[in-house]
Amino acid sequence: MNRGSTISLSLPPFTRWVKRLILVYAAIYLLMAVMEIASPFAHDWVRVYLGLIPKLVVHGMVWQLITYSFLHFELLHLLFNALALWMFGSQLESDWGSKRFLEFYFFCTAAAALTTAAVSYMHVPGLSPVTTTIGASGGIYGLLVAFGVLYGESEIMMFPLPFRIKAKYFVWGIVFLTLVGAIQETGGVANFAHLGGLLFGYLYLKFLPRKGLMLSASESYFSMRNEYYRWKRRQAAKKFEVYMRKHDRDVHFDEHGNYIPPDDDPRKGNGGSKSGWVN
């Protein structure tokens, strides 16, 4: 996509994981609605077990840092999050690929939950360690800030309103409203979760590897593992050299731990080179 182009917020294409997330959110909302009528006790139990309650997270229920995002209070709450996920998430998934998109989305989701949990212990009005927070807004706000950073100069058509606004100004407007909401904390909205998603989404884009955390961690792991194996091979080669010298035989290995046959050794391989095969 041309980052200076005009983007209409109407009928963007669905990408694979954006579509799946929306379907999962909708299915869980429908299930919870039926459960509220059929079995209010089970409905409340699911909200306590899967919603974000900081006191329970501190006592080991760490899965709530992610599962809270799959529950929603009201239909409008669900529709707003699904709409934002569709309009902003689809572009990011198309550009990044599914793996990095999911990593970023759930990174912001978990960061928003941790922010909410931390603030709940600061005696902020309307929040306490036993306050339940649910909804995907933390991850959604992370997508918003990512869109504003990556496509800041692109113009968004504010359908159905007849005007356009640059993406960066749109995101700054969202940040401003979230800050005001966090200060006032009106209507029971967990604006600190929104702020957490915005802040850590921005930090992810600015300071974490462009390939994504998982891929970078995987590359670092295999790099360290391979270096460890090379070190072990070099150590084994040195010990073998010492052993052979004690038996009046002189053998040599290169800096990689590969055996170097003598010039008159008919067994040398690799096209007649002195080093043998290098792994």
Q: What local confidence, expressed as pLDDT, does residue 59 receive?
A: 94
Specify whether the CB–CB gap between 123 and 156 falls below 8 A.
no
CATH of domain 6-208: 1.20.1540.10
Q: How far apart are CA 184 and CA 127, in angstroms?
A: 12
Token pair 């409008």: residue: 76
List the pLDDT tens digit at each of the 279 positions of the chain.
545 454 444 457 889 999 999 999 999 999 999 999 999 999 999 999 999 999 999 999 999 999 999 999 889 989 989 988 998 899 999 999 999 999 999 999 999 999 989 988 887 766 789 988 999 989 999 999 999 888 888 877 666 666 788 888 888 888 787 777 666 654 445 677 788 888 999 999 988 766 555 555 555 555 666 676 676 777 776 766 666 666 666 666 666 666 677 665 555 555 444 444 444
Straight-line distance from the first to the last Cα atom of the chain, in angstroms, rounded to the nearest whole number: 43
Q: Is the backbone of residue 187 left (phi > 0), alpha (psi -120 to 50) or beta? A: left
Cross-strand bridge partners of residue 253: 259
Query: Which among 224, 206, 192, 189 has a CA at the least distance from the CA of 146?
Result: 206
> Does the pTM of the predicted model rise above 0.85?
no
% helix, strand, coil for the chain, step of 5: 60, 5, 30
* pLDDT for 122: 86
Domain residue spans in the chain?
Answer: 6-208, 213-279
Given this model, what pLDDT does residue 123 score? 76
> Is residue 238 classed as helix, strand or coil in its secondary structure?
helix
